[in-house]
Structure 1
Amino acid sequence: MAASTTPTPASVASSTGAKPGPKGPERMTGAQAIVRTLEDLGTDLVFGIPGGAVLPLYDAINRSETLRHVLTRHEQGAGHAAEGYALACGKVGVCIATSGPGATNLVTPIADANLDSVPLVAITGQVGSNLLGTDAFQEADIRGVTMPITKHNFIVTDPNKIPEAIAAAFHLASTGRPGPVLVDIPKDIQNATVEYSFPTKFYMPGYKPTTNPHNRQISAAVKLISEASRPVLYIGGGVVKADAHRELLEFAEFTGIPVVTTLMALGAFPDSHPQHMGMPGMHGTVPAVAAMQRSDLLIAIGARFDDRVTGDVDTFAPHAKAIHADVDPAEIGKIREVSVPIVGDAREVLLALTKTYQNSTKYPKPEIEEWTGYLSDLQDRFPRGWEPTEDGKLNPQQILEHLSAEIGPEAIYVAGVGQHQMWAAQFIDFENPRTWLNSGGAGTMGYAVPAALGAKAAMPDKEVWAIDGDGCFQMTNQELTTAALEGFPIKVAVINNGNLGMVRQWQTLFYERNYSNTKLREEASYVPDFVKLSEAMGCESIRVTTEEEILPAIQRAREINDRPVVIDFIVGEDAQVWPMISGGASNEEIQYALGLRPLFDENESAAEEPATIHETVEETED
């Protein structure tokens, strides 16, 4: 590991997507130096809310001719908007907050970005240096608070170190495993005078991420792959972060190996591709779960063996060896024993695997015709599906099928957390990377609306839809005002079942229908009335209660591009997400519940008629 990093302005710019800054010192305030460094790093937009400890910075922002500031209605909204911006375009997202409660309101999006590897820089104001540690008005040790949930953080006590700290934060956030970095700057440091020049070096002891995999590990992986009879590519969000979707497609098609994509990787491999088995895990497809459980080789690229994928680790893919490639060496072997560890960027790993395989005369492609035939049979037998509700109310799945068919795979879809998130993952067709944004690791309610705003800010020519639940929507819908006033005409589809849906589902299945504190409104009422509320915040709004109204409402929303649009879809409260493996249970449960035939049992014929996941699980429960 290197003791220090001494990049040139060009190398810093390259790692962050920025243009090199000017040469030579200029006299300015520390606050102006923050803005100038952001500009020199190529930042065009930041999200935030002013307050006493960042007034010098906001004075400088208002004088900038190139840096746009988006005034959100809550600091949490600023953080999630910066996440949505970063995920949609791949650049570093930036959010700003004042000291004390302003800074602590950023904790949730920072934690979210940390778990989902989002390149985020949070800049917070702090009380004056002479007041630190005195419990001064709006003082909070935000550096200490966020230490466990940031990739790194700084407090700047020397105004001349501001450019270095900001540039280093961008470099850390965007290289290696992406993540959040916080820079805390006292008010007096912002007011001080500095000699500004873009930093040519910064000191980061021990930080030198490995991006190029070791040839020996690549060769060992190719050997294992060639010997496998039931391999599966287990693809995580790291493939999206590394922009490695083309390399994944090339390697998958070259080898013919089936692919599963986690919740964070949807769009990294086309849903329509015959080798795609779908999403694995708790609410995954039958072919994806079976592909992993019955494989003899897991090829994990940019995935972290999350508990929502593995279930009970001891019974997860019990007969499979594992190749695990990740840019973060701490993830490799953390959950599952690994036969071949590969440290490196997902794109570089896939390139190396393909090149080694193509140039090898020693290792043939794996012979997997029987394996792919078995999985293809599962795809035919267990297509996605849903049953009409008993109360005659709208099916959430039906709404999302209509949405996907009408809008198509070029749009960006942003989900909140809960049932609607899983239905969106299951029933929207994803063909492209960076078109599916959601809170995976933290499971943050209230993520969708501000993240959609940020995605629209990053990609103004893209159609952006937030898929939200009525519970999530009530946490951060104030950011619709931001979207309306700042000119971000996002669309919001609220799947409104009047309940905290996923919690209610667990209460139905595991708590004897003891619905404790999950009802959000009375069935016959619209309190709150999302149509009136959205209109009050400057949006167009539509309520949909019948099947015939679904498509016209979606089409009407697409015609309106001068303000946000909210569609309030009223659905039944008892719709559930299927399939479902309970938390911590074995993935084998889905195999037993669905009565899957033994692997390669030629004496047992497939089902005569395809059975939907919903039908089969309900039959098993009965």
Structure 2
Amino acid sequence: MTTSHAAPSKISAARAVVECLKLEGVEFIFGVPGGQTLSIMDALYDEPSIRFITTRDERAAAHMADGYGRLTGKPGVCLATTGPGATNLVTAVGGAHRDSSPVVVITCNNRRRHIGQDDNQDADHVTLFRQFTKLSRFVPDSEGIPQAVREAFRVSTTGNPGPVLLDFARDAVEGGEIAFEPIKPEYYRFNVRPVVPQASITAAAEVLAAARKPLLWLGRGAIIAKAGDPALALATSLGAPIVTTFNGISAVPGDHDLCFGPRSRFGTKVSKHLLEEADCIVAVGNSLNAASTSRWTLPLTRNIVQVDLDPAMIGRNYPVAVGLVGDATDALERLAATLRDKGSATAGARADWLATARRLREDWRAHVFADAYATAIPIKPQWVMKALGDAVDANTVVVADAGNPGVWTHMLPIRTPGAYMKPVGFGNMAFGLPAAIAAKLAQPQKDVIAVVGDGSLGMSMGDLETAVREKAPLTLLVMNDMAYGNIKQEELHFHGQRYIGVDFGDVDYSGIAKCMGGDGEKVTKPGELAAAIARGKASDRLYLIDIRIDGSENVWKDPI
């Protein structure tokens, strides 16, 4: 086989870093520069194809890289200097790791001879990041740069995606010229997903054929595998409802007749009931982790067919009847084909099961979107979701933050695969605004709406200016209860009327957005909300809507 590699040439070490990123198709680097990164920044000055997005904090840079990775499936890249620059990245990188988002983290350390010698900002980045990355690697010399960068992208994107750290010694990237051979990624990255053995498919089909109350439960792995259509086809043939995890929201259209919403620690009564009553569950790209199962207290059938790319996930948290290790799209298509040949003696029971599920869903909708909420002041969180849900179409990307705003977004009918993101596994706050900025930069033709609390906004407020500066017009809904609302509600739920350390003063957040060059408004009446969201979507600037909500709607009570 012939290849189109160019002959090696001599370029600077820092230029080699940039050339590798360029060959990988990197569009953006999100970060905060520092002294140790100056050589890379200087090389970027001469590379117009890569845009450096300066953030107001390194945590925001990693959140942007995470948001970019979730939306596009390509690694988001973030950069920081040594010590406090690197440590500020850790929380957001942990979120990318727990939610399987491809990210390449670049840090620049001190010179080799000074590491561990009490130099300024000295830190062992590799050790700090090891728990939150698929690979955490120190690069001590210039000649090793090309191989290290290629490995980072290969590891980040193959198998279960996730973050990788490259920690360059300062003298490595400031070194002299090295021999550099430009190699295209297709010559060193092969993301061939394994195929489930037919014997396992046949065994799973036997289990499903006997089921009277089958259910599909889709996680983020179903989105990564683009398994939405085969999941719908299998559910249709079975007459089975579909439930998702929070990370699986958008795996199938949220308004599809067979979709019954997500189940997480704060799930709906409908999804909780269906999971508890199902006599066979097909868990697709779903590790059945703590967030999805209320810390494994959710009672589930032993008749679980678990589909996952990683064999270590099969049966990790719940025993399974059959494990299908391999690509979810292929597995579901072959499972549906095998079932078609079997027929079923339980079709009547399944029809009754699906009819019951639909009736429960209609009752739930009538309850959570009650007519009384249309006039309630302060505005009910449910009404915020009603107004936002009406505004979400196939061209909309929704970014939800941790805490109560993210909890309530389970009501939204997300219609486009991958068009929803939320920090689930790590629960890292301050995700919403920076991830939304990255989403808008990555797909400027999309309407991007972020839903955050005033608590999370307070941790990321400086990047309102970043959105304005980088011309990333998005709509920012701030569900403002003047508190760390989720923790306040937890205190009230478990400790009576005793709470402490959770209240804020009254801040005009729309005014802050205007001061930073954006636009916005305060909304206190439910009837004003739909028009405000429409103005936000139509704006050519960051548009912040400060929504004064009723914080007494406690998510820690019974399922919504």
TM range (shorter): over 0.9
The 1:191–1:405 alpha-carbon spacing in structure 2 relative to 1, beyond 3 Å, is: same
Residue number among 539, 544, 549 corresponding to 2:528 in the alignment: 549
The one-letter amino acid of 1:242's match is A
1:9-408 matches, within 5 Å, as 22-192=5-175, 193-199=177-183, 211-311=194-294, 313=296, 316-317=299-300, 319-358=301-340, 361-362=341-342, 364=344, 367=347, 368-383=350-365, 384-386=367-369, 388=372, 392-408=377-393
CA contact 1:176–1:345 (8 Å) conserved in 2? no
Worse overlay, 407-416 or 32-41 = 407-416
TM-fit CA distance, 1:386: 4.8
CA distance in structure 1 between the partners assigned to 2:557 and 2:196 by the alignment: 37
The one-letter amino acid of 1:249's match is L
Partner of 2:517: 538
Partner of 1:495: 479
Partner of 1:449: 433
Worse overlay, 130-139 or 442-451 = 130-139
CA distance in structure 1 between the partners assigned to 2:383 and 2:499 by the alignment: 26
CA contact 1:35–1:61 (8 Å) conserved in 2? yes
CA distance in structure 1 between the partners assigned to 2:56 and 2:327 by the alignment: 37
Worse overlay, 377-386 or 530-539 = 377-386
TM-fit CA distance, 1:391: 7.7
TM-fit CA distance, 1:504: 1.4
Worse overlay, 230-239 or 342-351 = 342-351
SS of alignment partner, residue 309 of structure 1? helix
CA contact 1:164–1:202 (8 Å) conserved in 2? no
The one-letter amino acid of 2:272's match is V
SS of alignment partner, residue 382 of structure 1? helix
Partner of 1:17: none
Residue number among 555, 565, 585 corresponding to 2:543 in the alignment: 565
TM-fit CA distance, 1:365: 8.0
Q: Deviations over 1:307-359 (max 9, x none)?
A: 23223636511x4411111112221111111111121122232233234334x
Is residue 2:475 matched to residue 1:504? no
The one-letter amino acid of 1:547's match is P
Partner of 1:439: 423
TM-fit CA distance, 1:9: 11
Q: CA RMSD in A?
A: 2.4
CA contact 1:209–1:327 (8 Å) conserved in 2? no
TM-fit CA distance, 1:555: 2.0
Partner of 1:616: none
CA contact 1:419–1:576 (8 Å) conserved in 2? no
CA contact 1:251–1:354 (8 Å) conserved in 2? yes
Partner of 2:553: 575
Unaligned runs of 5+ in 1: 1-7, 11-20, 582-612, 614-622
CA distance in structure 1 between the partners assigned to 2:236 and 2:48 by the alignment: 48
CA distance in structure 1 between the partners assigned to 2:291 and 2:298 by the alignment: 14
How many residue pairs get aligned? The number is 553
CA distance in structure 2 between the partners assigned to 1:281 and 1:556 by the alignment: 32
SS of alignment partner, residue 265 of structure 1? coil
SS of alignment partner, residue 102 of structure 1? helix
SS of alignment partner, residue 350 of structure 1? helix
Q: Percent identity?
A: 30
SS of alignment partner, residue 250 of structure 2? coil
CA distance in structure 2 between the partners assigned to 1:29 and 1:352 by the alignment: 51
CA distance in structure 1 between the partners assigned to 2:510 and 2:354 by the alignment: 49
SS of alignment partner, residue 460 of structure 1? coil
The one-letter amino acid of 1:535's match is K
CA distance in structure 2 between the partners assigned to 1:248 and 1:391 by the alignment: 39
The 1:313–1:407 alpha-carbon spacing in structure 2 relative to 1, beyond 3 Å, is: closer
The one-letter amino acid of 1:500's match is Y
SS of alignment partner, residue 43 of structure 1? coil
SS of alignment partner, residue 151 of structure 2? helix
TM-fit CA distance, 1:379: 2.0
The 1:486–1:392 alpha-carbon spacing in structure 2 relative to 1, beyond 3 Å, is: closer
Please report the TM-score for the alignment, with normalisation by the length of structure 1: 0.85
Residue number among 482, 504, 527 corresponding to 1:520 in the alignment: 504
CA distance in structure 2 between the partners assigned to 1:66 and 1:231 by the alignment: 50
TM-fit CA distance, 1:539: 0.8
The 1:159–1:483 alpha-carbon spacing in structure 2 relative to 1, beyond 3 Å, is: same
Unaligned runs of 5+ in 2: none
Q: Deviations over 1:82-117 (max 9, x none)?
A: 111111122111111111111111101110011000
CA distance in structure 2 between the partners assigned to 1:290 and 1:26 by the alignment: 64
CA distance in structure 2 between the partners assigned to 1:276 and 1:556 by the alignment: 30
The 1:200–1:382 alpha-carbon spacing in structure 2 relative to 1, beyond 3 Å, is: closer
TM-fit CA distance, 1:577: 2.8
SS of alignment partner, residue 113 of structure 1? helix
TM-fit CA distance, 1:265: 0.9
The one-letter amino acid of 2:409's match is A
Please report the TM-score for the alignment, with normalisation by the length of structure 2: 0.94
The 1:398–1:314 alpha-carbon spacing in structure 2 relative to 1, beyond 3 Å, is: closer
CA contact 1:235–1:302 (8 Å) conserved in 2? yes
CA distance in structure 2 between the partners assigned to 1:294 and 1:113 by the alignment: 33
